Amino acid sequence: QQKVQQSPESLTVSEGAMASLNCTFSDGTSNNFRWYRQHSAKGLEVLVSIFSDGEKEEGRFTAHLNRANLHVSLHIREPQPSDSAVYLCAVNTGNYKYVFGAGTRLKVIA
């Protein structure tokens, strides 16, 4: 059964500094990974979807996937206070099913 773990649990960065979030998974056969952001009292907003090893950039958000190392990361360039939210990693386990990580709470201070 796919297990997804995120680190760190919480992260504080200064505005403009790079923020890096990590996600490890237990089964490397998946080829469908997503990063979502959840602002307080709001639903999940997809940031980046990545389906093969390497890098995928969407604006200030870049995902790196290395299935051999069972690792996918999210890097946020020039984070702003409005990026303060919980970031969730989602791993597709086949067809419609996803396993979500517990999330990283990011705080960006001005």
Partner 1 sequence: DAGVTQTPRHEVAEKGQTIILKCEPVSGHNDLFWYRQTKIQGLELLSYFRSKSLMEDGGAFKDRFKAEMLNSSFSTLKIQPTEPKDSAVYLCASSFAGSQNTLYFGAGTRLSVL
Cis, peptide link before residue 81, omega less than 30° from 0 = no
What is the rounded distance in angstroms from the CA atom of residue 19 to the CA atom of residue 75? Answer: 6
Q: Which of 71, 77, 31, 22 is nearest to 50 (CA)?
A: 31
Kindly state whether residue 44 participates in binding partner 1, applying the rule CB under 8 A: yes
Residue length, the chain?
110
Stretch that binds partner 1, among 8-16, 31-39, 54-62, 76-84 (CB under 8 A): 31-39
CB of 88 to partner 1, least distance (A): 8
Binding mask 67-96 for partner 1 (x = CB under 8 A): ---------------------x-x-x-xxx
Kindly state whether residue 102 participates in binding partner 1, applying the rule CB under 8 A: yes
